[in-house]
């Protein structure tokens, strides 16, 4: 079967992954309104293409935090890649390195940060961080990834508690015995508290607040990107607290149900930030024209989550490469058809929000 678009990979993954694994990756919180709206919101945005612009040569390159990547699509942090493919995050890292873009490695990886670096030594990587009640756990992983050459920390701020994902509860989702959260091997003492997503329940720190940005800055010289911002008020606070970037994200619709689609939240955040720091987005990106729309609203780069897992389920590293290549090709084509020769020519004039 020819794999022509990202939906083809989604259908393959749904067919071939165990039900509980598929349900875990696909899950949204509660009624999944936000998860679904992340996709639908792109269809409410119309493009305003310009003609006769000489698009014989096109350039999709851009930069994130000063580093050049081949096109404005990176890999969002998602957990447990070994559930989809035996080599898991190692395959993801190799594919991202091959396509010269940014891979945000999840705290909840089923390969260690050391294994990921060894597999793709020249890859450009950021590390996604959670803050634990035992702050030493967070401190140790920060020092580990800084020493390994990760180039930024991505602090996830939308999980003081885990959202209610109904199918995971119904399936009593657990990591299979042969897999573990590799970065924390031996870190959490064996105790009898119930497991939640691979580590003991109630280990995340719900008291995390803006002052903890300063705490994190005191630990590291790495740039800090905050993931999970959805309002202009929080965007302003992020700038005031001296972070280097924001990922507009609702955690793939897996946390608070009923919040905005990320592409709908993006404009007010970009307008508030006014170029003082970089603004990125994840959630619902499935085509090259989705990428074009997000860049036009003002994102510097977008990140994809679930499609990476579909690529892994299809064919490991090769599958993830194909996903990225398809998005790259589609983005280049959409750009040209809209009359843009390079990423800097993409702006708000290119779009209109349709009045549905």
Q: What would the two tokens of residue 133 be?
A: 């009640």
Cα separation of 323 and 308, whole Å?
Answer: 7
* Catalytic member of 86, 143, 178, 251: 251
The vertex-74 CA angle with 69 and 78, nearest 5°, equals 150
Determine contact, residues 327/301, Cβ cutoff 8 Å: no
**Two structure tokens written together for 265:** 């939240």
251 part of the active site: yes
- By CB neighbour count within 10 A (0-12 exposed, 13-18 middle, 19+ buried), where does 80 fall? buried
Closest CA to 298 of 232, 211, 204: 232
Distance CA 189, CA 39 (A): 40
288-297 and 306-337 are packed helices; what angle lies between their axes, rounded to 10 degrees? 70
A 10 A CB-CB count for 242 gives 11
Q: Tell me whether residue 218 is exposed, middle or buried, using C-beta atoms within 10 angstroms of its C-beta: 0 to 12, 13 to 18, 19 or more.
A: exposed
Look at strands 124-129 and 351-353 and give their pairing.
unpaired
> Could you tell me the maximum CA-CA distance found in the chain, to the nearest angstrom?
67
Helix (H, G, I), strand (E, B) or coil at 129: strand
The terminus-to-terminus CA distance of the chain in angstroms comes to: 36
Active site residues: 251
């Amino acid at each position: 079967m020819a794999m022509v678009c990202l939906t083809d990979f989604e259908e393959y993954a749904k067919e071939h992954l165990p039900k509980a694994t598929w349900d875990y990756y696909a899950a949204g919180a509660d009624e999944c309104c936000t998860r679904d709206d992340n996709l639908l919101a792109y269809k409410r945005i119309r493009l305003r293409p310009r003609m006769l612009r000489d698009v014989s040569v096109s350039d999709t390159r851009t930069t994130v935090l000063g580093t050049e990547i081949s096109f404005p699509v990176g890999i969002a942090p998602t957990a447990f890649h070994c559930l989809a493919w035996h080599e898991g995050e190692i395959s993801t890292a190799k594919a991202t390195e091959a396509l010269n873009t940014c891979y945000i490695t999840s705290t909840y990886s089923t390969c260690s940060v050391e294994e990921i670096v060894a597999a793709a030594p020249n890859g450009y990587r950021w590390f996604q961080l959670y803050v634990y009640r035992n702050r030493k756990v967070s401190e140790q992983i920060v020092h580990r990834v800084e020493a390994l050459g990760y180039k930024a920390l991505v602090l996830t701020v939308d999980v003081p508690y885990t959202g209610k994902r109904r199918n995971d509860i119904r399936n009593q989702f657990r990591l299979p015995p042969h897999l573990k959260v590799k970065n924390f091997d031996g870190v959490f003492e064996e105790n009898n508290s119930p497991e939640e997503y691979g580590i003991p329940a109630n280990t995340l720190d719900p008291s995390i607040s803006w002052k903890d940005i300063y705490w994190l800055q005191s630990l590291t010289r790495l740039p800090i990107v905050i993931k999970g911002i959805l309002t202009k008020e929080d965007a302003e606070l992020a700038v005031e607290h001296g972070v280097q970037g924001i990922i507009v994200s609702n955690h793939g619709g897996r946390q608070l149900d009923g919040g905005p689609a990320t592409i709908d939240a993006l404009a007010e955040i970009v307008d508030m930030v006014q170029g003082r720091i970089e603004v990125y987005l994840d959630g619902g990106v499935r085509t090259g024209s989705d990428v074009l729309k997000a860049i036009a609203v003002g994102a510097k780069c977008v990140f994809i989550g679930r499609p990476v897992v579909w690529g892994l389920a299809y064919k490991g590293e090769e599958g993830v490469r194909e996903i990225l290549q398809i998005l790259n090709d589609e983005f280049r084509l959409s750009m040209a058809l809209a009359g843009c020769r390079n990423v800097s020519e993409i702006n708000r004039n290119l779009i209109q929000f349709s009045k549905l």
